[in-house]
Structures are given as structure tokens and as C-alpha cells.
Amino acid sequence: MECSPGTRAAGRVELTRGKDKMRHRLRAGPSEVPDESSLEPVSSGGSLQKQKPAGSPAPPPLAYYEYPSLPITKNRKELISLIENHSVVIIRGATGSGKTTQLPQYILDHYNAKNASCNMVVTQPRKIGATSVARWVATQRKCTLGSLVGYQVGLEKMATEHTRLIYMTTGVLLQKLVSTKCLTEYSHIFVDEVHERTEEMDFLLLILKKLLHSNSRYVKIILMSATINCRQFAEYFGHPDSWQDEPCLCV
Ligand SMILES: Nc1ncnc2c1ncn2[C@@H]1O[C@H](COP(=O)(O)OP(=O)(O)O)[C@@H](O)[C@H]1O
Ligand SMILES: [Mg+2]
């Protein structure tokens, strides 16, 4: 179901304080921004695949997993298809519908089924949210926390080279992207609780849009919230060369 449109002008996402400062930091010259020609879409299993260091044991197989029945379950195929076919997807769903815990797993299993590599990050505004949700997902999948599923909050990291789904605070991801100036470490970036318009969130949206439209075109961005103004974010991420806004789905 598409969310109702608002006016384009009213729908602009306002990026508040410090915007110019952040833009300055992001205005990287050619030597600082990796060349896009060296990047490949994740489905090719190319540059996004994590390198296995010599002598490292083989990655553990993905745990067998049966999805719990939650409101999001009925939209699983539609969500996978939307994410496969668009750079940015906006998802609104009531609290408890399964956005944070289930949707990344749908993508994880979809990529596993087609033998492709993925490396997903899901942001949470607070440390406690990131750690508890990672612990919950690892428990659900019966895998050790820090193996397939992990987290990084502040200086604390529970993840390995085999981690394919990492929960992280908004601030940690922002710091990483400011330093790498590129999104291609990840195949999918889920920005959760995107309605929480903190300074960190605004900067993260700014950097995601800038890099997605420059050197990280193949990375998928998924914005999620229970109370998001979908149209506003769809217009913000709409590609500058087209009048088409990004798709929104309510689950
Ligand atoms: N840390 C947790 N501990 C126990 N149950 C949880 C936890 N996180 C999620 N759940 C369960 O998973 C369901 C889906 O949660 P979640 O994916 O966080 O929904 P949403 O992100 O849409 O609010 C919840 O209704 C709850 O039953
Ligand atoms: Mg959630």
C-alpha cells in the first residue's frame, strides 16, 4: 500500500545544524573517493564479499531458521522484491510487527538461497536496542552472538569476519561512513527508527544520500519506522535526475 502523497515543498527532509560542516567533510576529492568503476553489485559476489584471511576456518553454514508469524510475514516476498529492485525502500509498520528482527533475516536467507554474498548493517538509535536485538536474533537463529549475527556499540564489538548481519548504533555507522566515504562495505543498510530526528540521524541521512548518488550506487538502503512520514523521506532520497520518488510500503 502506497502512503498518501504530500506537497513536494512541504515534504523536504530538513537537515538541521551542522549540515554545512558535514558537507565540507564529505566533499572528497577524486583521490579520497574510491572509483565507482571498481565496484560491483553484491549479487555478482564481487568486491562486496568479505575476504577470508589465509588459514581462517570456513564460515559456518547459515542456521536453519523458521520465521515466526508476525504482521510483516505476509509481506516477505513483496519486501524482498522491492529491496531487490530499488536503491531505497521506505517501510512503515507498527511496533512489534517484525521490521527490526525479521526483515534483515529475510534478506539474509534470500541471498543465501541464491548463493550470493551479503553484508548487512541495521542501525539502532540506542546501544541497548542494538545489543538486545542482536542477542534476540542470534538466539532465534540458534547461533552464537558474534558469529552470523553481531553488534557494535561504542567501542564494544561482538562480530567476526563471518558476521553477515550486524546491529549498530546510528552514531557508530555515521563515524564509519565519515571515515570511509563509501558505503560499499555493506550490501544493505537498514536505518531503523528513522523518525528519531537527532543530529546523528540527520547527518547519517545526508551522508547516505550523498554517497548513494556518487560512489556507492549498488548499496541498498532501507528506512524503517513505526511513525515515519514516508512521502517526506521518499522525496528526499528521490534521484535528482528523475522525478520518481522511492517506494514506500506499510506492513
Ligand atoms: N529483545 C527482544 N526480546 C524478546 N522479544 C523480542 C525482542 N525483540 C523483538 N522481540 C519479539 O519480536 C517481535 C518483533 O519485534 P521487532 O522486529 O523488534 O518489531 P519492530 O521492529 O517492527 O518493532 C516482537 O513483537 C517481540 O515479540
Ligand atoms: Mg524495531
Is residue 242 very low, low, confident or very high in pLDDT (cuts 50, 70, 90)?
low
Backbone angles phi, psi at 189, to 5 degrees: -120, 110
pLDDT at 32: 39
Residues with CB under 5 A from ligand 2 (ion): 99-100
Name the closest ligand to CA 136: 1
Query: Could you read off the pLDDT of 6-37 as tens digits, one per residue?
Result: 434 444 444 444 445 545 544 443 333 344 33
Protein residue with least CA distance to atom 4, ligand 1: 136
pTM over 0.85: no
pLDDT at 249: 82
Query: Could you read off the pLDDT of 167-202 as tens digits, one per residue?
Result: 999 999 999 999 999 999 999 999 999 999 899 999
C-alpha cell at 229: 512520514
d(CA 175, CA 231): 27
Task: Transcribe the chain into DSSP letters.
Answer: -PPPP--TTTTPPPP-TTHHHHHHHH---TTTSPPGGG---GGGT-TTSPPPPTTPPPPPPPPP------GGGGGHHHHHHHHHH-SEEEEE--TTSSHHHHHHHHHHHHHHHTT----EEEEESSHHHHHHHHHHHHHHTT--BTTTEEEEETTEEE--TT--EEEEEHHHHHHHHHHH---TT-SEEEE-STT---HHHHHHHHHHHHHHTTT-TT-EEEEEESS--HHHHHHHHS-TTSSPPPPEEE-
Cβ atoms within 10 Å, residue 3: 18
Q: What atom in ligand 1 is closest to the CA of residue 95?
A: 23
Query: Could you read off the pLDDT of 73-115 as tens digits, one per residue?
Result: 999 999 999 999 999 999 999 999 999 999 999 999 999 999 9
Is residue 55 very low, low, confident or very high in pLDDT (cuts 50, 70, 90)?
very low
Which of 96-100, 145-149, 151-155, 241-245 is predicted with the least confidence, judged by mean pLDDT? 241-245
pLDDT at 191: 97
Give the residues surrounding ligand 1 with Cβ less than 6 Å away.
Answer: 70, 93, 95-102, 132-133, 136
